[in-house]
Chains A and B, each alone.
Chain A
Amino acid sequence: MKKITGILSLVMVLTIIATGFSACGGNGDADKNTLVIGGIGPLTGDYSTYGVSVKQGAQIAVDEINAAGGVNAIKFELKFEDDETDATKAVNAYNTLMDDGMKVSLGAVTSGACIAVTEEAKKDGILLLTPSGSQKECTQYDNCFRICFTDPQQGTVSADYIADNLTAKKIAIIYDKSNDYSVGITDKFVAEAAVKGLEIVAKQAFTSGTSTDFSAQLQQVKDTGAELVFLPIYAKEAAFILKQAKTAGIAVPFFGCDGLDGILEKLGTDNQALANGVMLLTPFAADADDTKTKNFVKVYGEKYNGQVPDQFAADGYDAIYTIKAAIEKAGINDINAADFNTKIIDAMTQVTVEGLTGTMVWDESGDASKDAKAVKITDGTYVAI
């Protein structure tokens, strides 16, 4: 019974001491003119693809800027912390980064974590620019901005795109009821579909707990005779759906949003053919013809073992260049200046950034306005349509 003891208490005290003092030496970089940009996202767990992509994309941008001599003599440094998609851990990560001298935050990669971080960033008054936090509240404060589309935007744009460019009129939806991203898109999609004269013949929900067997939902979809299946979900579940749709004999096209990005990786090398004909709405296509994208894809592949960047990597890359643009616009040349935060935040609504994910401008709400591109997967690559 009385198992517990001096040793464990000693460990506890040491634990506290170690964490208490570990960060004391962390502010050394503040004297130099190096801007510490802090990123937070899932580097482990189910959604780690997104965090890793953002981190790698942002790192490339930081390296490029530093190689070119920085901005107004300011060098960039990226520090990225894991949050395992958990809000508490994201706040811990945020505070770790503040200890490390962070001046600009990339918020968090996933929405829930990002919302928790906005609260902290508001208290500190620093610029928060999330690459991929798509829920509305991710930019709820004046110092918060985002690179990606919001969930409602994606729902509306998807419905518009299907109605205007495709022949399908009977749409089935399979969505993740336990996921804010999925629910947000679905709600707006249904509303916009009604306006555009699309018929929603099936709306099948699943929750992340049951996300490996979709035979029931697919059977429903098949029975309704849908001409297109809308998948406003993440790639992990979509990979199961594609595999099981083939078994169920469903041959209609699938249409998804940016969460579907990464589907090829999730399907694995043996099943690439399953993704043929899948369309997705994404602001970034790795096979686009412009030199910027080509360069980025090339550098990314060289640096990360031949990986092909997805939209999240592009979002991360654009976020860093947006920070650069804001610094240039505000004419900041000393990151330790007292008015650094106000200047850079004010500049955010004045900049225009031509990024990988389109040409972006920001308004007071913090949302970027830019065009969506639709791509179709053909033989394991994204082809713009």
Chain B
Amino acid sequence: MKKNNLNIHNLITYGIVVAAFLFVSILVWTGNASRHLQAMLVPIGLNIILAVSLNLIVGFLGELTLGHAGFMSVGAYAGCLFAIKYAEILPTAVRFPLAMIIGGLVACVFGIIIGVPVLRLKGDYLAIVTLAFGEIIRSIIINLEFTGGASGLKGTPQNSNFYIVFVVIMITLVVITNLVNSRAGRAICSIRDNRIAAESLGINITYYKLLAFVIAAFFAGVAGVIYGHNLSILQASVFDYNRSIEILVIVVLGGMGSIRGSVIAAVIITALPEMLRSLADYRMLIYAVVLIAMMLLNGSQKFDKYKGRMNIGGLFTLLKNKKSAKEAG
């Protein structure tokens, strides 16, 4: 059992992220990274955290939610309000992690509040209710005084950087991949695969659903806090349903239930519109076309077979087979 917890598949995922991180770090240190690339790193990292956490609900629990931006905004405002209040009192090294934990926990609380009544719903109904939740949160934030209303919350110290985001990404990956491979994770997957069978085995459906929901909400909240610390202004309007759908697109494109896919798709979806800047007026058009092409390609069986051959994991299996073949021979 223990061996499974850290299987090769997950190690490769970690490896890809670490390698990409080192590669970019070297670019930055040697002065070869453009400012544009450096500015994009935090948004890319945020989308990785958001996509991986949403994948837990959409991919592993098998429920469609459209409220991820709502959790992100709750966390962002909680963490940033805390950071503004203690900006002068606490040193950054204490305040920022604390703000992230507070943001995450507040998002958790909202996850429980929303989750308990809502998780009795399934499929489309859940999607609609979570969509409404996200919009309600946004409206409330806009109408409150202490959140800065429509003009936005200003004055959050700008502490986010690439390295902090990297650490949070790694924590997110380790927590979620291990959760998925644990007893709880198998229970969550069993709910997706056959709810009635899972229930008949004595799995507490509500409990495990809520667990997945709350953990995903926590990381969305943390991502929100990092977002808030990255810009000098936090506007509720960015957390609209388009944001939730953007995260969902990343998860679907990367492959539901594939953590590594979410990571890679997050990089592509975030970087693509920025890379197309040189196309000026045709930028959004090309972006849309590329998205459609990628979705079609992802759904095609031929491409899937081709991918299977080119798989890094497949390479390992190949090596292993050769080795065992040699031993046998």
Contacts and interface: CB of A to CB of B under 8 A. Distances in A.
Contact of A3 (B150, B258, B306): B258
A357 interface: no
Contact of A116 (B24, B142, B151, B233): B233
Contacts of A3: 254-255, 258, 261, 298, 304, 307
A44 interface: yes
Contacts of B258: 1-4
B299 to A, nearest CB: 10
A81 interface: yes
A176 B237 CA distance: 13
Contacts of B196: none
Contacts of A12: 16, 20, 264, 267-268
A385 interface: no
A82 B283 contact: yes
B171 to A, nearest CB: 21
A68 to B, nearest CB: 27
Given A177-B150, A178-B150, A178-B237, A4 B261 contact: yes
A24 interface: yes
A183 B265 contact: no
Interface in B1-55: 9, 16, 20, 23-24, 27, 32-40, 43
A224 to B, nearest CB: 23
B283 A87 contact: no
B298 A112 contact: no
Interface in B54-102: none
A251 interface: no
Interface in B240-272: 240, 254-255, 257-258, 260-261, 264-265, 267-268, 271-272
B43 A88 contact: yes
Contacts of B142: 177-178, 207
Main secondary structure of the interface of A (DSSP, over half): helix
Given A24-B32, A82-B283, A92-B36, A118 B274 contact: no
B175 interface: no
B230 A5 contact: no
Contact of B139 (A7, A184, A207): A207
A234 to B, nearest CB: 13
Interface in A261-306: none
Contact of B307 (A7, A86, A137): A7
Interface stretch (B113-121, B201-209, B308-316): B308-316
13 contacts: A2-B311, A12-B264, A15-B272, A16-B271, A22-B36, A87-B233, A88-B231, A95-B35, A95-B39, A99-B34, A115-B233, A119-B232, A180-B149
Given A88-B43, A179-B150, 18 more contacts: A1-B255, A2-B258, A2-B311, A3-B254, A3-B304, A4-B255, A4-B264, A7-B306, A8-B268, A23-B35, A87-B231, A88-B231, A92-B39, A96-B274, A96-B277, A118-B232, A180-B150, A207-B142
Interface of B: 9, 16, 20, 23-24, 27, 32-40, 43, 135, 139, 142-143, 149-152, 154, 158, 227, 230-233, 235-238, 240, 254-255, 257-258, 260-261, 264-265, 267-268, 271-272, 274-275, 277-278, 281, 283-284, 298, 304, 306-308, 310-313, 315
